Amino acid sequence: MKMIHVRPLQNVQFCSSSRKAKILNRGIYWIFRGLKFETDAEIGQKGTLCKGLHILNRYQKGFTLVEIIITIVVAAILGAMFLQVMETNLTGSVGPLIRVQDTFTLNEVMEKITADYKKLTIEDQTPLATLKSRIGNKDEEVTNGKYGSYTVKYNDYILFNDDDGDGIYDEVHDDGSGGNKILKVAVSIGDERLTSLFTK
């Protein structure tokens, strides 16, 4: 019988002579030895399977599961922070536009009141009293009224007196003693407020 001599796996040479191929060959070699094709006594050491896998993994390109999880968590945190900042900026950018719109509408309301008062001074015997009744009562929210939609903050007669003699005239409510010659009107829309004085 003719004996066939099989050379050990570590002496087998592969066609590729590149460094990467040699590293892979070495890793595969240790994996096969760890699969118990040879006894521990023949190998001379234990844990060769793990050694072969370690050699392959050491030169493997890519990301581990832990790295992927950490990347996802960090991306989620940064994304939440970015959305919060963007939401604040977008919400804050609408505020000035609303205030400008409210100011424009409020000026339009006051212009209508002023135009109506000029007309009443010609046609009405008591223009201030008529105007006062048309505007509305204090703290009343007028919707689609004669002059538009607004909130009445003040609508009453006032006068200016220097009761304490300091030379400074203070605004006080006119209970009729001043002849109801000055009508103070304050209206608001949103956070914007506008005040005008109408006199005989």
> Could you read off the pLDDT of 162-177 as tens digits, one per residue?
777 788 888 888 877 7
Share of the chain above pLDDT 90, in %: 32
d(CA 100, CA 191): 11
State the pLDDT at residue 150: 95
Decide: helix, strand or coil at residue 54: helix
The rounded mean pLDDT for the chain is 76
* Residue 90, pLDDT above cutoff 60: yes
